[in-house]
Amino acid sequence: MKVKKVLGAALAGIMIFSLAACKESTTDAGKENAAETATNVADMLDTDVAADSEEAQLDYTYGEDVTFHSDEPVTYSMMYSDHENYPYQEDWLLWSEIQKRTNVTFDLTVIARTDYEDKKSVLVNSGDSPYIIPKTYEEGKYVNGGQVVAISDWVKYMPNYQKCVKEWNMADDLKSKLQADGKYYVLPGLWEIGGGGYSFIIRKDIFEEAGVDVTELEKTWTYEDFYEACKKVKEYTGCDYVISDMSKGDCLLNISSISYGVKAGWGISNGLVFDHEKEEYYFADATDNMKEWLAMLNKMVKEGILDPESFSQEDDSAKAKFFTGETYAMTGNYQNLNDYAMQMQADDAQLYMTVAPGGPAGLLQMENSRLENGVMISQNALDDLGEEGFIKMLRFVDWLWYSEEGHLLAQWGVEGETYTKDANGDIVLNPDITYSGLNPEASKKLNADYGFAGGVFAYGGSAWIKNSRMTTAEEKDFDARIREYREMRPIDPPFMANEEETEELTLIQTPLIDSTKTWIQKFITGQADIDSQWDAYISEIKNLGADNYVTEVNEIFAKNKSKLGY
């Protein structure tokens, strides 16, 4: 294996790992992008698959539910986000199995996970990017530089991707990825079903001892009901606080604000919510619902239910309080359940993932998108490979990231080597391999020792794949309760600002949201009084341009909404 450093001080620390003896020789095909420019969103979201001409002599096999295989060995360059919990290994079964099935190897640019976003930006913006750029959460900043392909022009050559979009009705989800030119620039991870997400993990045994039947109450409970339940726990236990949270409060703020129809925490973004009846945006954090939400959380702080240190403490402090029995609730996702259960100091502790309480906005699911991070494709791939070679690479990407076979391989590995299937066709991980709480005493890890179930390849998939990843009955139960008790939220459309408009909006948005965040924390912790200082808050955000921001966004949306089908 050849190892070399990338030139340039800005890229210090990035290592190039050449996984093949040599790179695929490039073709002399033209650099012109022959894909037609779509004139509207219907074109962009068309799920038809382009047919090959009868004269085409392909040197590879591909197709819907067909394993991609190149007649000759081929190598594609790719960025790789190297996770510290399962660091890159050249001899992973993942690599050899991909090569065995497809005759494809990678020329990897391996980057530490913690540096991935920064180094990705340097590589893409400098024009030195590898062909395949996975693990992309925010593609908008790369659109105007011309260094990534408008992939929506090319998905017609990807039969498995098109199948997912069509059969899973992903059109509305994909609209959220459209840029000002009506195209999208990332292949997102696609999930057949949504659900999951974050909510409250509680000590069910303590809540029940305090007289709270959580399993019945949660079906329709609101935050007022949740508050009353926590009051009973506080009275029963005499604890200082029932809830002490992580993430500097961002998770708690995010999930609770959703039920009030406002924006906060991780989900604050630009503070805008789309009114689907009026077909316009408004600044949600200046509404009566915002005031009501703040009053609820402030009441929980004042009455010793919510620990004000939730907004300042480190995550380990919040966890320690929960694990030692000092507190009895915190936020998390269902993947935390097994890990937390093993760290509880009380042997009889029963952890339970509740369905999130509702509020003025309704009884809503926390997650309303079925998209995950995705894969960008560098313009270098089209320039170097030519159109035919580029389409061939896309069909490999299509197989690995969007076929059922690719999903199964990326998540669970190789049948007979890392897993088997039971009589019902369900995945059974080999007993000497551990993953996500399965076989905790096993000596080998599915991700660290084999390369599977990692963040670069294993995302998106069918309902069956999603359910297979739920490794405990508790996780499956939580998912089922969400679907039974909560409604999906509609997806807000993009307003599709161009580069100049985005720059103008950012000048308003940055100080506006910074101020909003500051006031939110002050109101909740009692540093500011909601009744007497609410008008001061509204005055400040108006002076920072909240009204102008909304007006500009709605003008941009009005200009573009016909592209979105409005």
3-state SS assignment for residue 539: helix
Selection from 500, 509, 490, 493 nearest residue 560 by Cα: 493
Domain 198-364+491-564, what fold?
D-Maltodextrin-Binding Protein; domain 2 (3.40.190)
* Residue tagged 């360059």 (tokens): 77
Task: Look at residue 29 and tell me whether its pLDDT is greater than 50.
Answer: no
383 C-beta neighbours (distance < 10 Å), count: 16
Q: Report whether 402 contacts 161 (CB < 8 A).
A: yes
pTM for the full predicted model = 0.81
d(CA 79, CA 67): 23
Q: Is the fold of 2-25+34-193+371-409 the same as that of 198-364+491-564?
A: yes
Q: What pLDDT, on a 0 to 100 scale, did the predictor assign at position 31?
A: 33
- Which residue in 196, 208, 477, 481 sits closest to 328, CA to CA? 208
Q: Average pLDDT of 406-413?
A: 98
Ranking 29-38, 56-65, 188-197 by mean pLDDT, the lowest is 29-38
Q: What percent of the chain has pLDDT over 70?
A: 92
* Lowest-confidence region among 48-62, 311-325, 452-466: 48-62
| 40 contact partners, CB below 8 Å, separation of at least 6 | 182, 562, 563
Q: Does 239 or 32 have the greater pLDDT score?
A: 239
Domain locations along the chain: 2-25+34-193+371-409, 198-364+491-564
pLDDT at 455: 92
The superfamily in CATH containing domain 2-25+34-193+371-409 is Periplasmic binding protein-like II (3.40.190.10)
Average pLDDT in the 229-254 region? 97
Taking only the tens place, the pLDDT of each residue in 76-115 is 999 999 999 999 999 999 999 999 999 999 999 999 999 9
